Amino acid sequence: MNLTGFISLSLGAILIENVIFSQFLGICPFMGVSKKMDSAVGMGIAVTFVLVLSSIVCWVVNRFLLVPLNIEYMQTVAFILVIASLVQFVELFLQKNIPSLYQSLGIYLPLITTNCAVLGIAIANIDRGYGLGSSIAYGLTSGIGFLLAIVLFASVREQMEVSSDFPKPFKGFPEAMLAGGLLALAFMGFSGLSVFG
């Protein structure tokens, strides 16, 4: 993959087809873990980390196991199996070898086990016929897109906490839904963007 291809792929994944704002994948952690900036950043980094790993492993499983045996229709089941085990394995590995990273990612890792963004990106990689390099790049940049979205949203919610004048029934989750919708609308502005033709 050349540099132009990479830039166009990553701009697409981060802005134009942002996992959250235009593909609507991974909404659960987006709404759930965006109350505080610290936890939003932790969640974003953990998702990015798992996305890259799962992109690699799922691509390998698909290419060397599902395709030769002609059972691509089992993709979803196989990928969930792969991702769930992978996340468990990574968690065990981090706890032993990189305790500091485990401390900061620890509580978020199990949440990602069945995150639809992770499964969605793994399937998108296959559907679009990406090679291994493109799959990793797409996984990484989608993760960065997720990080960007959740960090933006957390900063909006932190601000709303002190300064919004919503009536009482709108406090908390409803106002977060409204803010999330407006943020997604703002990201629609990128839909006309295309890179190098």
Partner 1 sequence: MKEIISAIIVLAALGVIFGIVLAVAAKAFHVQIDEREEEINDILPGANCGACGFAGCAACAGAIVKGTAEVSCCTGVGDDALNQIAEIMGSGPVERVKTVARVRCVGTSEDMKKFEYQGIHDCLSATKVGGGSPNKCAYGCLGLGTCVKACKFDALKIVDGLPVADERFCTGCGACLKACPKGIMELVPVDATYFVSCASQSNAKDTMAACKSGCIGCGLCVKKCPSEAIKVANGFASIDYEKCTGCGICAEVCPKKIIHKL
Chain residues in the site for partner 1 (CB under 8 A): 61, 65-66, 69-71, 73-74, 77-78, 81-82, 85, 88-89, 92-93, 95-97, 103, 162-163
87/148 with CB nearer partner 1:
87
Q: What is the distance in angstroms between the CA of the first residue and the CA of the last residue of the chain?
A: 17
The CA–CA distances, whole Å, from 120 to 24, 43, 195 equal 10, 17, 23
75/134 with CB nearer partner 1:
75
**Nearest distance from residue 13's CB to partner 1, in Å?**
28
**Nearest distance from residue 21's CB to partner 1, in Å?**
28
9/87 with CB nearer partner 1:
87
Three-state secondary structure call for residue 11: helix
**Nearest distance from residue 154's CB to partner 1, in Å?**
18
What are the phi and psi torsion angles at 169 (to 5°)?
-60, -20
Question: With contact defined as beta carbons under 8 Å apart, do 180 and 153 qualify?
Answer: yes
| DSSP conformational letter for 64 | I
**Nearest distance from residue 118's CB to partner 1, in Å?**
16
**Nearest distance from residue 172's CB to partner 1, in Å?**
14
96/192 with CB nearer partner 1:
96
Structure tokens at 42: 């932790």
Q: What is the dihedral of CA 182, 107, 143, 154, to 10 degrees?
A: 30
Question: Is the Cα dihedral 34, 26, 22, 177 positive or negative?
Answer: negative
What are the counts of helices (DSSP H) followed by strands (DSSP E) for the chain? Answer: 9, 0
**Nearest distance from residue 88's CB to partner 1, in Å?**
6
92/193 with CB nearer partner 1:
92
